[in-house]
Amino acid sequence: MTGTLDWWNQKNNKYSSEEWIDKPTIFAQWVIKYFPKEGKILDLGAGHGQDSRYFADNGYQVTSTDFSDTALKLNKEKLPHDLTNKVLIQKVDLSQPFPYEDSSFDIVYAHLSLHFFNDITTDKIISEIHRVLRPTGIVAILVNSTNDPEYNTGKMLDRDYFELSQGDVKHFFSQEYLKAKTSQFETIILDNQGTTLKDSAKGVFGLIRYLGRKKA
Report pLDDT digits (tens) over 109-162.
999 999 999 999 999 999 999 999 999 999 999 999 999 999 999 999 999 999
| Residue 174 clears pLDDT 90, i.e. is over it | yes
pLDDT attached to residue 216: 85
Domain tally for the chain? 1
Strand pairing class (161-165; 168-171): antiparallel
* Burial of 7: CB neighbours in 10 Å, binned 0-12, 13-18, 19+: middle
- Helices (H) then strands (E): counts for the chain: 7, 10
Q: Please, what is the Cα angle at 127 between 126 and 131, to 5 degrees?
A: 115
Report pLDDT digits (tens) over 40-70.
999 999 999 999 999 999 999 999 999 999 9
**In which domain, by residue range, is 112 found?**
2-214
| Residue 2 clears pLDDT 60, i.e. is over it | no
Q: What is the rounded CA–CA span in Å between residue 199 and residue 30?
A: 16
pLDDT attached to residue 30: 98
Q: How confident is the model at residue 3 (pLDDT cuts 50, 70, 90)?
A: low
What CATH number should be reported for the domain holding residue 11? 3.40.50.150
pLDDT attached to residue 168: 92
Q: Are 51 and 81 contacting, i.e. CB atoms less than 8 angstroms apart?
A: no
Partnered with residue 61 across adjacent β-strands are 40
User: Which of 94, 26, 17 lies closest to 48 in space, CA to CA?
Assistant: 17
Q: What is the rounded CA–CA span in Å between residue 124 and residue 116?
A: 13
- What pTM was computed for the model? 0.96
Average per-residue pLDDT for the chain: 95
User: Which of 37, 81, 30, 79 lies closest to 58 in space, CA to CA?
Assistant: 37
Q: Are 178 and 203 contacting, i.e. CB atoms less than 8 angstroms apart?
A: no
